[in-house]
Amino acid sequence: MPIDLSPPAAGWPGLVRGLMDLVATAATALAPPVMRIALALPFFRSGLTRWDGWFHVSDSTNYLFSDLFRLHILGQDYPIPFPALTATLTAMGEITLPILLILGLGTRFAALGLLAMTAVIQLVQPEGWQNFHLYWAALALGIAAVGPGALSLDRLMSSRLTQG
């Protein structure tokens, strides 16, 4: 949002207008990285619990996906398809996508990936929509809509590409 350098209107209306412009400028700069961090943290924390060392998905994660987690679709319960592969992909996504979000790299892609994960989590834990899933989905959609913001690698790379 460009900063308006024209003199403000006189009196209280001008002061209020100036303050509102200042708030809008600050929010435009701060909202995207704060949204990225807010969405990244719960997924990253969950991802940390899925591993036993480097490149080894924990036995408990494999157990969850093969024996405990069920998809709740139209009143029926279904097993998770390809549980070992799904567990591995989930564990990788819960680490990789939040890191991309924090860095602001491939931001919209990462946000949409976490939105898709949220949709699947909703199918596994349908009672969680009001406590977590709705907010995660809103953050992911907001990030996809507004983009990474000025404080991101996406923006830095975009400005470098347009310069050269």
pLDDT (tens digit, 9 = 90+) per residue, 8-42? Answer: 566 888 888 889 999 999 999 999 999 999 999 99
Counting the structural domains of the chain, the total is 1
What is the predicted pLDDT for the residue at 153?
94
Structural domain that includes position 125 = 31-163
Domain-embedded: residue 81: yes
Quote the CA–CA distance of 43 and 135 in Å, as a whole number. 13
Residue whose token pair is 């991101």: 152
Return d(Cα 123, Cα 125) in angstroms, integer.
6
Beta bridge partners of 77: 72
Whether 26 is covered by a domain: the verdict is no
What is the pLDDT, as a whole number, of residue 86? 97
- Per-residue pLDDT band for 66 (boundaries 50, 70, 90) equals very high
In a domain, 6, yes or no: no
Q: Is residue 21 part of a domain?
A: no
Mean pLDDT over 1-14 rounds to: 66
Residue 159 lies in a domain: yes
What pLDDT, in 10s, does the model give residues 142-151? 999 999 999 9
Q: What is the pTM of this model?
A: 0.85
State residue 130's pLDDT score.
87
Tell whether the model's pLDDT for residue 6 goes beyond 80.
no
76-132 confidence digits (pLDDT tens): 999 999 999 999 999 999 999 999 999 999 999 999 999 999 999 999 999 988 889
